[in-house]
């Protein structure tokens, strides 16, 4: 009986069986008492690493004298489903020993309803015998090794394993997604050693899903292009943060150093069950970070799985806790760059997050998605691309904040023509919205042009043409004729009031109107400021009129000076001037 092993509690009955079978001591495995599924998994793993087991004899009940004890069946389930074993090891013939026949065993009402281990007795490669040595020998002679096809069709498909209440599909999918992502960032071993995450993946339900799909691989990739996130601030919010995700994400964002912050969900959970005892406290801590200068926020869609991961309860997508948190952040600052993460592939849930303003989404892999590790690598690369785009657009956070501050300053300005104030505010909103939505060069230019219109609105408010074909500034003084004296690098006038005859089209251009406001009404003296406004208006005109001489203009170093209208940088330069202009306006 070479390579035939028996698990024994060293009861008198089993001692006699071992003696009658003439099994040597080295083929006897002492039964160890186990309480958790992870303990069963780990013992089985160690057992097959240490011994070349080709056939195994297991008492259905062990210890034998314990009533309604089916530990032997549970050990066998962990053998059949253990993804750390080779398929050959999982498919060894197993001979179960019992005082009862199959019919009596199956009638027992005390089996675990989630695992239903009695079904294993009906599968290929499982055999039942009494404690008589001759009967056992006869059964051993008839054993055959199940085939790969048998594993799927005559073993796995005959089992009925469901998730336990303390480890639902959501938790298992999160654990699996964490492990798969870790494998393409060279963190698989570190994540596998995480106690909470590892325990989830060692549950029979998780192992059953993995075995059915054949999705487990010990292969790992090295991330050759780590994320460039030095000096970036990243906030990570996930109810499973304490179950491997913080470890993984802190590695992915390692160059951010202390700029990476993960909310510790474990502080608000029962340490034994892993369930929330104070979800409101966790949610409040998440909200306490609203208003801070985050370059990226990653928020899980279901933060309260005990309430939102119920198969019989339908939670409307906008009401998912993650979506509500996304809304809270974006209500405070629409410029926040948020990536929503989820272990669900329900497109309507993801769409709800995108509708609220999330910039992108990341779907955590699940054992139910049979992705090869190369596909996981592609998935991760796409995730990194989305992160880089979010970093590039993180300026929107400050732009939105500054826009709202400008609008608040305008609201506080004691100016009786409120329609004028509202027009500026509306134009600022239009410009920001176009910037927020911009993806192409032309769209960035449209945002720039919309922002420029703030200058025209202000000019329109303060300039009126008089009956003598001149223009008054706020009905107080006439607009002088301004020009740029390049040798002195300043604007000049001869105290001559501009008339229709001085201007092409008989109206002063917008930059001259602005010069009048700046020098004459506001009594400012920074000539370079007006020069910058002139060049920015010229840039706008070049785009609107498709003037290639303007658009392709280069300085002495060969740098294009007007191409930034097609980038966010061009908008930002003009916006800095608009902020100053509105401050001058409200100081009146």
Does position 167 have pLDDT exceeding 60, yes or no?
Answer: no
SS3 for 118-187 is HHHHHCCCEEEECCCHHHHHHHHHHCCCCCHHHHHHHHHHHCCCCCCCCCCHHHHHHHHHHHHHHHCCCC
Confirm whether 4-158 and 169-393 share one CATH topology.
yes
Q: What is the per-residue pLDDT across 477-508, written as a single tens digit (0 to 9) for each? A: 999 989 899 888 999 987 777 665 566 556 88
Per domain, the residue ranges of the chain are 4-158, 169-393, 397-586
Q: Are 235 and 296 in contact (CB under 8 A)?
A: yes
- Tell me which CATH code domain 4-158 carries: 3.40.50.2300
3-state secondary structure of 111: coil
DSSP readout, 509-549? -HHHHHHIIIIIIS----HHHHHHHHHHHHHHHHHHTT-HH
Does position 311 have pLDDT exceeding 70, yes or no?
Answer: no
Most confident stretch, 182-191, 314-323, 446-455, 470-479: 446-455
* Pairing status of strand 477-478 against strand 234-237: unpaired
> If you average pLDDT over residues 105-119, what whole number do you get?
87
64: left (phi over 0), alpha (psi -120 to 50) or beta: alpha
- Closest to 394 measured CA to CA, from 544, 490, 293: 293
- Closest to 182 measured CA to CA, from 262, 256, 244: 244
| Mean of pLDDT over the chain | 91
- pTM score of the predicted model: 0.83
The CATH architecture that domain 169-393 belongs to is: 3-Layer(aba) Sandwich (3.40)
Q: What is the per-residue pLDDT across 257-281, written as a single tens digit (0 to 9) for each? A: 999 999 999 999 998 888 899 999 9
How many CB atoms are closer than 10 A to CB 539?
A: 25
Q: What is the per-residue pLDDT across 410-444, written as a single tens digit (0 to 9) for each? A: 999 989 899 999 999 999 999 999 999 999 999 99
Q: What pLDDT is recorded for position 63?
A: 84
Report the distance separating Cα 449 and Cα 333, nearest Å.
23
Q: What pLDDT is recorded for position 225?
A: 87
């Amino acid at each position: 009986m070479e390579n035939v092993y028996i698990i024994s509690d060293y009861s008198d009955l089993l001692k006699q069986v071992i003696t009658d079978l003439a099994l040597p001591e080295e083929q006897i495995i002492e039964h160890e008492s186990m309480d958790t599924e992870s303990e069963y998994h780990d013992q089985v793993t160690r057992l097959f690493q240490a011994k070349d087991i080709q056939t195994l004899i297991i008492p259905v009940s062990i210890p034998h004298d314990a009533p309604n004890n089916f530990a032997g069946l549970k050990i066998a389930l962990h053998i059949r489903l253990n993804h750390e074993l080779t398929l050959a090891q999982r498919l060894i013939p197993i001979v179960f020993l019992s005082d009862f026949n199959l019919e009596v065993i199956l009638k027992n009402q005390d089996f675990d309803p989630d695992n239903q281990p009695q079904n294993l007795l009906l599968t290929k490669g499982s055999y039942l015998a009494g404690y008589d040595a001759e009967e056992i020998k006869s059964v051993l002679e008839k054993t055959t090794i199940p085939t790969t096809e048998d594993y799927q069709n005559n073993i796995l498909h005959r089992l009925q394993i469901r998730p336990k209440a303390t480890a639902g599909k959501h938790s298992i999918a999160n654990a699996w997604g964490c492990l798969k992502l870790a494998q393409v960032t060279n963190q698989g071993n570190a994540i596998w050693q995480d106690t909470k995450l590892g325990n989830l993946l060692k549950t029979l339900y998780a192992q059953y899903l993995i075995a059915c799909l054949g999705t487990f691989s010990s292969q790992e990739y090295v991330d050759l292009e780590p994320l460039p996130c030095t000096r970036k601030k990243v906030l990570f919010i996930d109810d499973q943060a304490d179950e491997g995700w913080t470890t993984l994400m802190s590695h992915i964002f390692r160059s951010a150093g202390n700029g990476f912050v993960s909310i510790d969900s474990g502080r608000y959970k029962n340490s034994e069950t892993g369930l929330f005892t104070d979800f409101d406290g966790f949610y409040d801590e998440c909200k306490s970070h609203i208003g801070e200068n985050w370059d990226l926020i990653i928020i899980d869609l279901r933060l309260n799985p005990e309430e939102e991961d119920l198969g019989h309860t339908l939670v409307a997508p906008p009401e998912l806790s993650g979506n509500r948190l996304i809304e809270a952040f974006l209500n405070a600052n629409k410029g926040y760059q948020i990536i929503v993460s989820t272990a669900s592939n329900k497109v309507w849930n993801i769409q709800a997050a995108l509708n609220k303003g999330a910039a992108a989404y990341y779907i955590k892999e699940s054992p139910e998605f049979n992705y090869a590790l190369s596909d996981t690598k592609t998935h991760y690369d796409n995730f990194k691309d989305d992160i880089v785009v979010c970093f590039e657009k993180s300026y929107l956070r400050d732009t939105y904040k500054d826009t709202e501050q400008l609008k608040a300053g305008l609201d506080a300005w004691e100016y009786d023509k409120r329609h004028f104030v509202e027009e500026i505010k509306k134009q600022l909103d239009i410009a920001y919205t176009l910037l927020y939505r911009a993806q192409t060069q032309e769209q960035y230019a449209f945002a720039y042009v919309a922002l420029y219109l703030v200058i025209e609105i202000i000019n329109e408010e303060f300039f009126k043409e008089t009956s003598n074909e001149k223009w008054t500034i706020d009905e107080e003084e006439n607009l002088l004729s301004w020009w740029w004296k390049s040798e002195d690098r300043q604007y000049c006038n001869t105290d001559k009031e501009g008339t229709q005859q001085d201007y092409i089209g008989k109206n002063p251009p917008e930059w001259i109107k602005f010069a009048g406001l700046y020098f004459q009404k506001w009594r400012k003296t920074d000539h370079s400021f007006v020069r910058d406004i002139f060049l920015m208006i010229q840039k706008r005109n070049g785009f609107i009129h498709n003037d290639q001489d303007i658009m392709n203009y280069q300085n002495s170093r060969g740098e294009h000076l007007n191409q930034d209208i097609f980038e966010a940088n061009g908008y930002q330069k003009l916006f800095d001037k608009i902020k100053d202009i509105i401050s001058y306006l409200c100081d009146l």
